[in-house]
Amino acid sequence: MTVKWARGGPDLLVVLDRDAGSLGTQIQDQLRAAIREQRLAAGERLPSTRHLAGLLEVSRGTVVDVYEQLLAEGYVESAVGSGTRVAAMSGPAAAAPGASAVSSSGVAPSRLVAIDFEYGIPDLGSVPLTDWSWAISEATRTLPTAELGDEDLAGSRHLREVVTSYHRRVRSGCASADDAVIVSGFRQGLTFALAALKENGVHRIALENPGPREHALIARRAGLEVVSVAVDDQGLDVQRLRESGARAVLLTPAHQCPTGVALAPSRRRELVAWVDDVDGLILEDDYDAEFRYDRQPVGSLQGLSPARVIALGSVSKTLAPAIRLGWVLAPPRLLAGIITEKRLSSRGAPGLDQEALALLMETGRFDRHLRRMRDIYRHRRNVLAAEAELAFGPGRLRGLAAGCHAVLQLPDGVSEREVAATAATMGVRVNPLGLYRVPTADGESEPSAPPPALVLGFGNVGEEQIRGGIRTLATVALRPRAAAAGG
């Protein structure tokens, strides 16, 4: 995308040697090279002749001659009221600088994708930007001058007070501002917490299987050994956790990622007993507990065992990933290690943004947004459930009680990877459940082959997209069975 510089934008770097011949020729050569090498992109505005002449300390007539020559050669284009801009170039060199044919996920981007069931993306069209703009403005107006310098190492005191009060009130937590560290999102908080575990003598951590694979990568990078523990319809299997030899576990108890089950009350009690028995720690990923539909709220594990639980939260799912703010609520014995990791690796999240989030939550605007989004997501969930039942039959869609994603179980014998790949060619992107299988230390997933399934995120897709996407998936997934039945 071409940057739309305002008139009189940034200065243009042209270096002149006043002892090396025609200044106009030097300017022409350097501008041609900049356009050919795409340091100046197609459509980008060049400085006015008057401005460039003053910058280079040459006559305006010299610059006018340069622009006219480049215009004649097709390097630039000019229109009254629009100034002089770089012309579009043709050929292989016309690709955008740094453009890659492969996305960060390693998959070639498809222009056909029109319906995206990507997990973990909230409704980006409903982000309360007006409220956020108000909060930023209010933070800028009211933040004391003294707080514009380096922040407290743990983060904004105001935001820590608001976050912990909110956690106590809404999630039945048990933490104060002194137990909180503000971070730039969940992933950074997890990185700091894992490093603190390692410093406190924990060498092996258990992860839910299935679960986010990136958690295993982060844990191994922190120097921890990773073991996977199976999840069933009651959540993490605590007996298998006991057998794993781990002294720490990372889990999503309120709405397991990706199966959607909640950790059963009996398992919660077993987990607290286990963590005391092994002198261990629980890392609680509280990522979408605010969105619930068919059940009562589930309290935080941190409230059951504050000395043994590190609670991690962020606003990536409730507001937007671009508002890169999160928090870690930690036992006192780990707090210093987490703060040290933060001090050595970053200067923290922007102070104005922290103050803005505190104001957004404290004034009720955050909760107003959550209530509105809960209704939107509930309606989309109902549409998804109805379409899935119509296309695949009853009982195929699971994990619907909370959150913004569900798991669609496919017919036996169908390849979830093939369904996802074929659907992508038809404009529908979806993740196979197998992408959430956590590999063991030797790189292999657990030997038992689970039923084929797809993970469907519905946070950022509209109702008509949901209907069209499910119909496409049904066309792909049920085609082999229909062919077999006809034969």
Average pLDDT over residues 168-179: 91
Query: Residues 13-34: pLDDT tens digits?
Result: 899 998 888 999 999 999 999 9
The pLDDT value recorded for residue 201 is: 93
Work out the average pLDDT over 86-99: 58
Please check whether residue 27 is in contact with residue 63, taking contact to mean a CB–CB distance below 8 angstroms.
Answer: yes
Q: What's at 395, amino acid-wise?
A: G
Average predicted confidence (pLDDT) for the chain? 88
> What percent of the chain stands above pLDDT 90?
69
What are residue 356's phi and psi, to 5 degrees? -65, -45
Amino acid type, 42: A
What's the pLDDT score for residue 149? 82
Residue 125 has pLDDT above 80, yes or no: yes
Evaluated on CA atoms 11, 14, 19, 24, the torsion sign reads: negative
Q: Which phi and psi angles does 100 have, rounded to 5°?
A: -125, 145
Q: Mean pLDDT across the stretch 440-461? A: 74
Overall size of the chain counted in residues: 487
Q: Which long-range contacts (CB under 8 A, 24 or more apart) does 416-424 make?
A: 416/452, 416/453, 416/454, 419/452, 419/454, 419/473, 419/476, 419/477, 420/454, 422/476, 423/472, 423/473, 423/476, 424/110, 424/112, 424/113
Residue type, 236: L
Q: What is the pLDDT of residue 363?
A: 94
pTM score: 0.82
Task: Count Cα atoms within 13 angstroms, Cβ side, for 444.
Answer: 5
Q: Whole-angstrom Cα distance, residue 252 to residue 349?
A: 25
Q: What pLDDT was estimated at residue 112? A: 57
**Dihedral (Cα; 53, 56, 57, 58), 10-degree rounding:** -60
Residue 195's identity, in one-letter code, is A
User: Sheet holding 453-457: strands in order across?
Assistant: 397-398, 405-409, 453-457, 431-432
Helices (H) and strands (E) in the chain, counts: 15, 16
Thinking of the domain 23-94, which architecture would CATH place it in?
A: Orthogonal Bundle (1.10)
In order of 76, 227, 258, 401, 471, the CA distances from 262 in angstroms are 61, 21, 11, 9, 29
For the chain, residues classed under CATH 1.10.10.10 are: 23-94
Lowest-pLDDT choice from 61-75, 106-120, 343-357, 436-450: 436-450
Token digits for 180?
A: 């909180």
**Amino acid in position 129:** L
pLDDT > 90? residue 286: no
Give start-end residues of each CATH 3.90.1150.10 domain in the chain: 115-125+368-486
Asked if 410 and 432 touch (Cβ cutoff 8 Å), the reply is: no
Q: How confident is the model at residue 99 (pLDDT cuts 50, 70, 90)?
A: very low
Q: At what angle do helices 463-486 and 416-425 cross, to 10 degrees?
A: 120
Single-letter residue type at 151: E
Measure the CA–CA gap between 234 and 222, rounded to whole angstroms: 30
Question: What is the tens place of the pLDDT at every residue in 219-262?
Answer: 999 999 999 999 999 999 999 999 999 999 999 998 899 999 99
pLDDT for 226 equals 95
Alpha carbon distance 305, 271 (integer Å): 10
In the CATH hierarchy, which fold is given to the domain comprising 128-364?
A: Aspartate Aminotransferase; domain 2 (3.40.640)
Q: Who wins on pLDDT, 38 or 157?
A: 157
Contact 14, 58 (CB under 8 A): no
More confident residue, 231 or 114: 231
Which pLDDT does position 93 carry in this prediction?
45
pLDDT at 150: 78
3-state secondary structure of 206: strand
Which pLDDT belongs to residue 448?
Answer: 59
pLDDT above 70 (res 391): yes
Using alpha carbons, select from 319, 285, 312, 286 the residue that is nearest to residue 459: 319
> 25 is written with which tokens?
């020729």
Q: Which band of pLDDT confidence, cut at 50, 70 and 90, is reported for residue 43?
A: confident
Contact in structure between 121 and 137 (CB atoms under 8 Å)? no
- Give the domain 115-125+368-486 fold: Aspartate Aminotransferase, domain 1 (3.90.1150)
Token pair recorded at residue 22: 């025609």
pLDDT, residue 91, reads 53
Q: Angle at CA 445, nearest 5°, toward 442 and 450? A: 165
Question: Which one has a higher pLDDT value, 102 or 334?
Answer: 334
- The separation between the first and the last C-alpha atoms of the chain, rounded to the nearest angstrom, is 52
d(CA 113, CA 465): 11
**The predicted structure's pLDDT at residue 449:** 65
Per DSSP, what are the bridge partners of residue 116?
429
Mean pLDDT along residues 104-111: 42
Radius of gyration over every alpha carbon of the chain, rounded to an integer in angstroms: 28
Whether the pLDDT of residue 479 is over 90: the answer is no
Task: Find the DSSP H helices in 320-437.
Answer: 332-345, 351-362, 365-392, 416-425
| 403: amino acid identity, one letter | G
Q: Is 250 helix (H, G, I), strand (E, B) or coil?
A: strand
> Three-state DSSP class for 35?
helix
Check whether 42 has a pLDDT greater than 70: yes
